[in-house]
Structures are given as C-alpha cells and as structure tokens.
Amino acid sequence: MMHGVDVRALQISLHGNAYGDFFRFDIDGIYGPLTANRVAAAKWHLGYATFEPVAGPQFMAYVTSARHLTTVCEARRLARLRAPKPKPRPTLTLGEKALAWALSHVGDQETPPGSNHCFATEQWGHGDMQWCDVLVSLGYIHAGSSAFSKSKQDYQFVPYMLQAARAGNHGLHCVKFADLRHGDIIVHGPGAYHTTLHDRFATSGSRLEWDVGGNEGHNGTVLHDLHDASLADAFIRVER
C-alpha cells in the first residue's frame, strides 16, 4: 500500500477532471483497494483497452489535462459513452431478482449525508449503521431468499456473510470468477471491506465489472459503478 502527497494528488485529480468524477470519497493519500478500484474504473471511462489498477505517468497526465487522450482512446471513450444501455434482463433467479431490486434504488442517498440513515437502514429496522451488506441482504429478502432475515441480522456485516459462504452454510457458497452470474455478491478486498451485487462485465474478457452497491462515497449513495474484480476477496452465490 502506498501513501503520500502523490497519492493525494491522484485522488484529487480523479475527483475533478475533464472526464468525470471518479473519486467520491475522502482524500486520504492512501493507495489502497478503494483508490485502485477507482483508477481501474477511470481507465474505462478514458477509453483504455485494459484496466489495470495502476496509475502511471501517462494516466496522471490525462486526468490532470497535461496531455490529451490519444485518438484511439478518445474514439473508444466516446463509443462507450454513446453505447445503448443494455435491455432489462429476465428476473428468474434469486440473484436476478435481488439485482433488479437494487438497481431500482440507484441514486438513493443517506439523509443527511454521512449519517448512515437511509431507506435501507429504515427497512432493516436496527438503527443506522454501515449499510452495504444491509442493501445486499434486503435485495435477497425482496427476491424471496430464505437465507436472509431482518430479525436474525446474520449478514449485516461483511465478514459474517463471507464466513457462512466459505463454510457453505444457509444456501450461500463461494464461486469462481469465471462462474459469476447476475446478482452474485462481490466481496471487495483485500480485507472484505465492501459488498455489491454483480451486474455485467465492462468488456469481454475483462475483470472490470458493473455492479450495484450502497453506502458509497461522501453522500452514502446507491451507485451502479465499475469495480475491478481482480481485487475482490470472494464471489458469493445465494441458492435459496
């Protein structure tokens, strides 16, 4: 893990640049998994062909406007911006139903910002708390899963959910990256610090994926965003 003024400058540039806001978090000067994920996501938006979570001199020149994007990158960036949105998919499996419910809440925020108070914690009914796992749990409750319960609160914290999946308990089990399906749970790492629901891959053969997660950024928002699955600790499927 790197830290210092150079990382701080990177985070500031990711937050404010000519191409978008790719960093909605506190500027802490630490190049941990959060910043690495945002670099990978920014590369997709800037038209890179590959999305390694590494910020080199060329990348910094792009996000600080010290250098224009190459013609190829600019064309690829515009093509991605103009691409039609994927059509809604069937909601047949538990994962697809949980994902559809989460997608319906994209843009919802905490009130007031930074309070951990939101529609998800209200539905959960156990006070205000970090709620990324609460959102995932509610998605599966709304999908009809018997593995999740508001009363038991089993999986409101990421490590408990991951422990159950690794043990194959309660209809949860870990799957390989190559087996990811819509609505599978991404446990972001290192350190199992966050969970989201997998939507789709950014490009064929890429480990960059679109997903839906809550408790994101300064305002505590439900976001449909890009993450680098190569940084994930685990992938969980809910079978019942």
Q: Of 82, 102, 122, which residue constitutes the final position of a domain?
A: 82
- Do 43 and 121 lie in a common domain? no
Answer yes or no: is 88 within a domain: no
Domain span including residue 122: 94-238
- What is the DSSP track for 171-218? TEEEE-GGG--TTPEEEETTTT-EEEEEEEESSTT-SEEEEEEEEETT
Using CA atoms, how far residue 117 sits from 57, 68, 123, 135, 223, in Å, is 40, 41, 11, 12, 16
Q: How many domains does the chain have?
A: 2
Q: Is the dihedral of CA 51, 57, 60, 61 positive or negative?
A: negative
pLDDT tens digit sequence for 213-230: 997 676 899 999 999 999
- Do 99 and 15 lie in a common domain? no
pLDDT score, position 152:
76
Collapse the DSSP code of 233 into the 3-class scheme (helix H, G, I; strand E, B; otherwise coil) and give the result. Answer: strand
* CA geometry: angle 166, 170, 176, nearest 5 deg: 35
- Do 110 and 201 lie in a common domain? yes
pLDDT tens digit sequence for 80-97: 999 998 887 778 899 999
Q: Of 49, 82, 115, which residue constitutes the final position of a domain?
A: 82
pLDDT band (50, 70, 90) for residue 190 = confident
CA neighbor of 34 nearest in space, from 173, 177, 196:
196
End-to-end CA distance of the chain: 38
- Do 72 and 107 lie in a common domain? no
Answer yes or no: is 87 within a domain: no
pTM of the model: 0.92
pLDDT score, position 197:
97
- Do 37 and 109 lie in a common domain? no
Q: Of 50, 82, 114, which residue constitutes the final position of a domain?
A: 82
Q: Is 80 left (phi over 0), alpha (psi -120 to 50) or beta?
A: alpha
- Do 73 and 98 lie in a common domain? no
In this structure, are residues 97 and 143 in contact, taking their beta carbons and an 8 Å threshold? yes
- Do 59 and 163 lie in a common domain? no
Using CA atoms, how far residue 218 sits from 95, 109, 182, 192, in Å, is 28, 10, 27, 20
Answer yes or no: is 89 within a domain: no
pLDDT band (50, 70, 90) for residue 205 = confident
CATH number for position 98: 3.90.1720
